[in-house]
Structure 1
Amino acid sequence: MEKNRTDYDAVIVGAGPNGLSAAILLRQYGLSVLLLEAKDKIGGGLATESLTLPGFLHDVASAVHPMAAASPYLQTLPLNEYGLEFINPDIHIAHPFENGSAAFVNSSLTETAHQFGIDEDIYLDLVGSVVEKWPKIGNGLLGPLRMTSHLFDLARFGRNALLPVSLLARRFHSSKARGLLAGVATHNFQPLENLATSAIPLVMLANAHLKGWPVVKGGSAKLAEALGNYFLSIGGQIEIGFTLSDLALLPPAKAVLFDLTPAQILSLKNNRFSGFYRWQLRRYRYGPAVYKIDWALENPIPFTAPECRRAGTVHLGNTFEEIAAGEKCIAAGKENDNPFVLLSQPSLFDISRSPAGKHTAYAYCHVPNGSVQNMAARIENQVERFAPGFKKSIIGTHTMNTADLENFNPNLVGGDINSGRISIDQLFTRPAFRFPPYNTSVKGWYVCSAATPPGGGVHGMCGYHAARTALREVFGVKISGH
């Protein structure tokens, strides 16, 4: 082979949402790009299958997409021309309590705040300030630490975001506001007493008011299909069924980007990484995991609180104190007998998900990483607690423990759907303490998965920033914005 000859400008290993985003950005700048995927379909966690009964469509991993709708990069792509349609429910989040009432979040900031009575102004101040400043701080938060013209606004956000959510919750007087905050904070997968656990709930609540918490019409796989078809339309190449175990098998390229987490990267033969970089990757820590269940239902879930019957996402955990105790239990390596449950009911808003008159629902609870404990009964009991009669409507069930999730997508190590612990020490320095964090020790090789900033969630920003780094360092292309 002729010296310095390359078959491609860039090769992307892994076609999850970040690998797809990286591939698209590189191709948009005229580079020849090959996207490799081990499975027979692209998308990673963006998959939709008939898991329970024929005619019932279930999202295998990612189901609700607030960050996809809010993504600074994905919003620039004409994905609607390739079949993507987001559907936002009337109520984005509902949080029921044992007394039959519920807190809710809809698109209206003022209407959401008003329900909290004495806490109305506090909600408007905390969440409203993020809504107001999001155009200035959103790009800074959804990426690596870097200089920005909006440092003052980011610093003001940080005053609250870096607090433990247990401390932030003390500003609220009502159990309704505190419970809602705790439910959204569980997306940290950490004890609520940990530092910086206020960042995620503030961002996710703000984006509920800005862009909603939508589902994808037809299932999450439609988002992957739209990304893939757009990439192909602009001249990109995709090869599925390519299982990579040895980097010597890659076609020559000037840049290689890995939509993989440290565990998979370290397993690759001929990786040429320095001993120090391998040591850094071995120190990477994965977080708590999930046990997931899908149901085919005869009827809609009969929640006692009417707000829950109009919500796309329902957080089942009752009070702040109950949720906090449960998350602490998981962090201690124990399954919770009364787990917090995140539930999605997409068929209420997307009739393509189930046969006429029938419904689907998706739920998960947190478990210790690698746990194979069967949590199905505990999850169903928690739903029944807030929706008496729910169990009678079940006509089909499919479960996935942590091993099943990792088998479905190796990036979900031990069932960790965030591809790594979201603790303050791994928030901006994942997967290793490097600048930029996408760089490996090999020139031209980058990590673009959710194991890099800004972390988990379907937003494509990890891939975007990794590709942007490759454009600058390998191809001499500097782009502004985002």
Structure 2
Amino acid sequence: MVAEVVVVGTGPNGLAAAVTMARAGLHVEMYEAADDIGGGLRSKPLFREDVLHDICSAVHPMAAASGFFREFDLPARGVELLQPEIGYAHPLDGGRAGLAYRSLDVTCEHLGPDGPKWRALMRPLLEHSRGLVDFMLSGQRSLPDDPAVPFLLARRILEHGTPLATRQFAGDEAAALLAGVAAHVVGRMPTPSSAAVALMLGHLAHGTGWPVPRGGSVRIAEAMAADVAAHGGKIVTGQRVTDIREFRSARAVFLDVGPKEFLAIGGPVLPSAYQRGLRSFRYGPGAAKVDFLVSEPIPWANPLVGRAGTVHLGGTQQEIFRQESLVARGARGGEPFVLVVDPCAADPGRAADGYRPVWAYAHVPNGDTTDPVALVTARIERYAPGFAETVVARQGISAAELEHYNPNYVGGDIAAGAVTLKQSVFRPTPRWDPWRTPLRGVYLCSAATPPGPGVHGMPGYLAARSALRREFGIRDVPSLAPVR
């Protein structure tokens, strides 16, 4: 049977497009250059066969909140999203720490005098969480269903996305706690984009949470792939696509690739103006990753930090703003911002014989070639003295090497493009339908299209909706719910 729909890339967005198209009754084939599926959702053993490491993403607030995954219903498919007691933590010198508990009340209690301000920031967002999430994870081509959302965002972005951010909290803990979440923008700070990221991710910690999938991130990819197969789809691994013209017989082609890779496989047939637009796409700073195998939990100076699924290491708000802005300009040096995840904080089953995985990223300039092991180890040691003595094995990958692992991560940019105010909406080029390309039936569905990075499946889902309408005349989007 000739495939009606071809999907290139089996990351979460490619899988979301494939799920949606297969659910519409179309014959779908997927092609993956790597030997295993998942893209940013891959998990595999690195040092011991019985200890699984998440190769890219490890914690999934968007998979618990996005419209695509709400309907797809991961728990009903056997994917357990385990919630740590503390969504994210931010240790500071002297054993101090900001702690974002699942409970907003407990969080505010621990923030002392800044507790009322944290509550005033987060509670309205929680009350309008569904509308806020759906608007920010849409293509933002229409007004939100919840009319309160624009006003909530506008005020808080002004307060936290400008120099006013330094005046919002009295103590270091609350200011650093929010700045650490904002740093997920991986770019200059403070900006409206960094504030929007902080508002989105920050409030989710007190709502649907920052969960880790039991058994690793790959469980999400496996559930999506199983649904594609259950609806007649086919997945081919170990086959790199080098020319888009291979699929000229397909009625729709979805590319879970970035602009650079699209130019490589589609350049000969792309209009010159669109090529120029893709070449002008801006990439952000890189990430350098370290995987550790440790013999005991991380010995944080503040033991409560060990209850968090995600830990941000960046110092004070001022230190984070300064370092992230330097990195965004390509400057090397200083103490990098580091994200650390101990999956066993929520999923003890990830440990074997006392050995457990630890996942860590450092923000570095795009294309940086530095081996991050020493940098990241020292950064953790600052807040967890004795950590190095627990390390049994370690493996580092520089930002430059990360692109070899996944071509979408140009220069180590795991956001697949700088998350600026302009590029948040106009990704990868200014078009009303950013998923549709000038090539008939060809759609981009990677994180380089709106709504951008994160494991939420929305670029793939929104691209599929556009293709169903334009290529197949299908206006009723199929249900994504499990077949019971």
- CA positional deviation for 1:54: 3.9
C-alpha distance in structure 2 between counterparts of 1:165 and 1:296, whole Å: 40
- Aligned equivalent of 1:292: 289
Q: Does residue 64 in structure 1 map to residue 59 in structure 2?
A: yes
- Equivalent positions of 1:405-424 (< 5 A) are 405-424=402-421
- Equivalent positions of 1:271-286 (< 5 A) are 272-286=269-283
Q: TM-score, structure 2 length as denominator?
A: 0.94
- CA positional deviation for 1:312: 0.9
Q: TM-score, structure 1 length as denominator?
A: 0.95
User: How many residue pairs end up in the alignment?
Assistant: 477
- Equivalent positions of 1:121-140 (< 5 A) are 121-140=116-135
C-alpha distance in structure 2 between counterparts of 1:71 and 1:151, whole Å: 16
- CA positional deviation for 1:149: 5.2
Q: Does residue 220 in structure 1 map to residue 202 in structure 2?
A: no
- CA positional deviation for 1:157: 2.9
- CA positional deviation for 1:271: 5.1
- Equivalent positions of 1:234-383 (< 5 A) are 234-250=231-247, 252-269=249-266, 272-383=269-380
Could you say what secondary structure the match of 1:377 adopts?
Answer: helix
- Aligned equivalent of 2:461: 464
Could you say what secondary structure the match of 2:10 adopts?
Answer: coil
- CA positional deviation for 1:353: 2.2
Letter in 2 for 1:101: R
Letter in 1 for 2:219: K
C-alpha distance in structure 1 between counterparts of 2:51 and 2:290, whole Å: 14
C-alpha distance in structure 2 between counterparts of 1:470 and 1:250, whole Å: 16
- CA positional deviation for 1:135: 1.8
Which shows bigger deviation, 57-66 or 372-381? 372-381
Q: 1:194 aligns with which of 183, 187, 191?
A: 191
Q: 1:154 aligns with which of 146, 149, 153?
A: 149
- CA positional deviation for 1:251: 5.8
C-alpha distance in structure 1 between counterparts of 2:329 and 2:266, whole Å: 35
Could you say what secondary structure the match of 1:342 adopts?
Answer: strand
Query: Structure 1 226/166 Cα, relative in aligned 2: closer, same or farther at 3 Å?
Result: farther
- CA positional deviation for 1:332: 2.1
Letter in 2 for 1:116: L
Which shows bigger deviation, 263-272 or 438-447? 263-272
RMSD (CA atoms): 1.9
8 Å Cα contact 2:165-2:190 kept in structure 1? no
C-alpha distance in structure 1 between counterparts of 2:245 and 2:89, whole Å: 50
Deviations 1:130-162 (A, max 9, x none): 111112232111021222353632321331454
Query: Percent identity of the aligned residues?
Result: 38
8 Å Cα contact 1:348-1:359 kept in structure 2? no
Could you say what secondary structure the match of 1:360 adopts?
Answer: strand
C-alpha distance in structure 1 between counterparts of 2:300 and 2:209, whole Å: 22
8 Å Cα contact 2:141-2:432 kept in structure 1? no
C-alpha distance in structure 2 between counterparts of 1:165 and 1:65, whole Å: 27
Q: Does residue 209 in structure 1 map to residue 206 in structure 2?
A: yes
- Aligned equivalent of 2:448: 451
Letter in 2 for 1:454: P
Unpaired runs of 5+ residues, structure 2, are none
C-alpha distance in structure 1 between counterparts of 2:211 and 2:272, whole Å: 44
Letter in 2 for 1:114: E
Letter in 1 for 2:226: N
- CA positional deviation for 1:348: 3.2
C-alpha distance in structure 2 between counterparts of 1:23 and 1:57, whole Å: 27
C-alpha distance in structure 2 between counterparts of 1:193 and 1:270, whole Å: 36
8 Å Cα contact 1:167-1:193 kept in structure 2? no
Q: 1:476 aligns with which of 464, 473, 479?
A: 473
- Aligned equivalent of 1:3: none
